[in-house]
Chains A and B, each alone.
Chain A
């Protein structure tokens, strides 16, 4: 680290607020919970503002995707405006780079923003020099930027502490859209001392020093994939040392919980085990509300029952009812059944019976293009009607075969009996 950094600088690095994102539908009867969940992204943002005010940071950075949808979401726009006004009252400047979800555009001009907020340009990297640091950043001009924006950042000029703000995909993360792709080599020390990145929702430190490169992650997880603590980075740079600290800001936690049905006899057993899993997860969420997706796994006699949609719904309702008065609050959002039947499919497939022939046929089909084509053909009438649901993926097709086989096994066995 360069010796020239002598003043103490502190700032808050946030990204991916995705204000007003849906976190999951809550039963209207749970009036204690639905408002909290629907407003969670706002509350997490307010927490970030409060933290900035409490810590009296020098500035507030937002590395893209403040909104989930830019144009139609007025509530989110008003909320962020209010937050920035609060920062302005505290004398804290805000520097905002837009991302793929909220590319800079017309909507900005409909609101009157405090002067202390600077929205970074999208045509080229913009440099702003404050009394303590140089801030270089660039916004996305549209939703699908495929250029390497980091490579456009200018080389540093002088010894002033430099921060780069960018919404980008470093190293081609396949789980996220490949917008503004770049390489860690592009985020070099000769461009910035600290790279404040956005886009990847799981917070992580890509490089610990020279320069420090950090994804702040989103301050509020939005679905089961975004489980665990979510927040922002509170960064302090004194002398030659940069100290980033991740501070959780989320108000609702997500969890994906699997419950094995092995050895279970009744639906009550399953409900009881599920409630236990929910409560354990709620305990881990350190007092925050919990939204969980349950999945039944394993195989057993309960597998037959859980193949029936009505029984799945009943089990889910009972878990909801059992955890209704828990504090912190728990909302079991969904129950998926990945559990199998209590029979050995392979044995059935080898038998010289109608079912055996059916299972053999299923196997052959799964391994062939014709099988794939056939299934697309079969589902076309429905999928052609509903543009909202995407074409079946390979894994979904695999699941479909498994489910179809289970249906056949169950029905043929039932009618046999």
Chain B
């Protein structure tokens, strides 16, 4: 590729500048500040867009902003190796690079592909360099020399390395910030997960410890509880003892007092009271007896009749009966006087006559009945006989039958049934005849029977009538059969019956009355006799009047009865009271003897003594009750022992025990709290749940870690393979470049140095002198070192041109440190390069310009000095100093 025309619109101090270039070497001559370096930089910019350069101190600065203001803009017309003419336009804007071919089509991609073997830096170091770049080839050697010529048809190993390195660094880097790498991040995550697992494991360990602690504390708690219970019981007992001590002492005192007051056997507590009560009771009873006896004496006269009292009472009662008997006798005499007959025999005869008449009358009545019956039978027999005789003389039934049959016959005739009429008429005639015959025979038999019956009945009737008449005659009644009606005797018979009964009754009554009358007389006589006898015995004058006697009897009897009850009562009361008195006296005697007292005074003394004893006993009992409230197993020994115990000592024992119990309680509470905490913590840990999720995370992190490791390892391996392959490649390809460089260097140094070598593993080069000694570039003088680097560049350019597009080479004042001889040798080398590459040289010294002009007839273009020669003044609008070769019409920039 060679530049045919350069047109700079605005770049640094240059604006609207145009330059046409020929093939081969062109030298731009100019003083300082005539824009030589700016032109160099502009060419780099157009081809690679590089606007930044590294200065010596590693500082980066932005290049060449237009001094006239506005954006950078430049254009270049290049002829490619294949003959194509391309127009390159670059502006400062984004995507501000465009390439068009002669046909005006976009050839940007094609151009960039062609340039891909080289990047901006390589171009700067190898193709377009000034004095600064010339002396800094070391350190770039491997990359510069070999990467771009790996023989891959354009493949960029450096690019591959960059991609791989970046990918590897994204995962893991030994250098760099640890946190930002994926691998480190996963390790961090894993660390967190492990921490969590450790926490869980610690929790489990804690759990196990807590279980142990819980058991220890629980058993301690149990022991404490038992201890506290035992001590509480002891304290309780001791407190009871303490409280019981005064009572025990009082009890003991009471017992001692009791010992001085002996018990009197049989002495009742209330003996004295009873004694006194009995004494007063005795007086009362005696008085009561006397009063009863006096009353009894007053009643004595009334009681004299005691043996006759029943008899008097009987007489009084019988008197009443006697009066009734007197009355009854009077009544009987009245009744007897009123009776009709005084003769009993006559009365009996009257009754017999009446009874006979009654018998005859009853017989008459019966016969009259029979007479009437038989007479009626006779009349009926006569009637029957007459009826039979009448029926035999009358033939009317036959006529009726014949007439009926004849009527039927006429009816049939009228209806025209002649045959039937004739039959009916015949039947009528036969029937009439048959009837007449039957009627005559029957009537003859009946008449004979009725006649015989009549004869029998008439005889019977006659016999009965005779008897009736006979009886009626005996009774003196007319025997007219028609008058003698049976019913007429009914009333007469009843009257007779009544008269007969009345007569019978009166007879009986009389008999009874007479018997009673006799009995009453006897009774009254007996009563009177008894009355008299009694009056005599009662020393009562016999009274004429029975009633007067009885009045006296009654009075006496009443007085007696009124006195009997009180007297009996007094007598009984006297008996009872005497018994009581007896008992009372007996009891008094007993009391004295039981108490062993002679008299009441001594009894009183004893009573007082026993009363006191009782009081003390009661007190002792009350003390005892108090004591058993305090002591569980009270006995005399215990009480005696307690009574003698020092309360202060026992109290301090109690206090000590109470403190122990309090301590135990405090410990119990503390353990309880601790246990609660432990149980809560145990429950919390048990709730922590499963590990599956955390362990899944751990597993996942491990998988990712392993995956990242493998990914990284694959990249690192790929890088290693690339580098290793490149080394091999370098070993096989490098000698050609270096041999060429050695030759050029030998030529420039006029044989002082013979070989150039780039060891594989060291990013440096070494040279061999004519004396076979090897030199590091740093050991060479500056000029010689620059000559070495120039030789390497030239060798590389030539080698590269074998496979790649030969880019224009631009060198800015590179010969300043060369001596004249070596500078001349260098011009030869440039001449050699110019066979394959377009060369653009910049120089400010006239010797240099002349050297090139004389040595190789180099086309020299002199850049005129800028007016005023001030920094930043633009190199404006100056046309090329020399006419442009070729057809100007083709270069219409």
Contact = CB atoms under 8 A, between A and B. Distances in A.
Interface string A12-48: 0000000011111110000000100111111000000
Contact of B710 (A25, A38, A76, A396): A396
A22 B702 contact: no
B791 interface: no
Contact of B152 (A26, A309, A354): A354
A416 B154 CA distance: 6
Contacts of A403: 710-711, 714, 717-718
Given A25-B699, A34-B693, A404 B183 contact: no
B176 to A, nearest CB: 12
B190 interface: yes
A400 B688 contact: no
B720 A38 contact: no
Contact of B155 (A362, A374, A412): A412
Contacts of A174: none
B720 A374 contact: yes
Interface string A397-417: 001110111011001100110
A93 B610 CA distance: 84
Contact of B713 (A20, A23, A400, A411): A400
Contacts of B156: 415
Determine the main DSSP class of A at the interface with B: helix
A383 B171 CA distance: 13
A355 B690 contact: no
Nearest to A352: B151
B119 to A, nearest CB: 12
A107 interface: yes
Contacts of B207: 74, 110
Contact of A379 (B159, B703, B716, B718): B716
Nearest to B203: A74
A357 interface: yes
A361 B724 contact: yes
A20 to B, nearest CB: 5
A341 to B, nearest CB: 14
B690 A76 contact: yes
B718 A407 contact: yes
Contact of A362 (B150, B152, B183, B721): B721
A350 interface: no
A368 interface: no
Given A374-B720, A408-B722, A388 B197 contact: no
Contacts of B703: 334
Nearest to A24: B696
Contacts of A40: 692
A210 B836 CA distance: 94
Given A20-B695, A22-B699, A72-B204, A404 B729 contact: no
Contacts of A378: 713, 716-717, 720
Contacts of A21: 692, 695
Contact of B690 (A38, A309, A396, A415): A38
A171 to B, nearest CB: 30
Contacts of B721: 358, 361-362, 365, 404-405, 408
A381 B174 contact: yes
B157 A354 contact: yes
A309 B167 CA distance: 11
A382 interface: yes
B157 to A, nearest CB: 7
Contacts of B712: 379, 382
Interface in A359-382: 361-362, 365, 374-375, 378-379, 381-382
A392 interface: yes
A404 B692 contact: no
A73 interface: yes
B886 interface: no
5 contacts: A24-B700, A354-B155, A361-B724, A385-B187, A404-B715
Given A73-B204, A106-B208, A403-B711, 5 more contacts: A21-B692, A74-B686, A354-B726, A383-B709, A386-B709
* CB-based closest 6 A-B pairs: A403-B714, A22-B696, A25-B700, A38-B692, A404-B717, A22-B695
